[in-house]
Amino acid sequence: MYAFVDPQGVTHFTNRPQHDKRFKPIRPRDRLSAPRQYREPKFHAYDPLIGDAAASEGVPPALVKAVIAAESAFDSDAVSHKGAQGLMQLMPDTAVQMGVADPFEPAQNVRGGTSYLRSMIDRYGDLGRALAAYNAGPSMVDRYGGIPPFPETQDYVDRVLTYYRRYHGDFAR
Q: Which of 40, 57, 71, 105 is catalytic?
A: 71
The DSSP call for residue 41 is T
Q: How far apart are CA 3 and CA 30, in angstroms?
A: 10
16 contacts: CB under 8 Å, gap ≥ 6: 2
CB distance 111 to 56 below 8 Å: yes
Is 71 catalytic? The answer is yes
Residue 129 sits at φ, ψ, to 5 deg, of -70, -35
20 contacts: CB under 8 Å, gap ≥ 6: 4
Taking each helix axis as running N to C, give the angle between helix 61-72 and helix 151-167, from 0 to 180 degrees, rounded to the nearest 10: 130
The residues that are catalytic are: 71
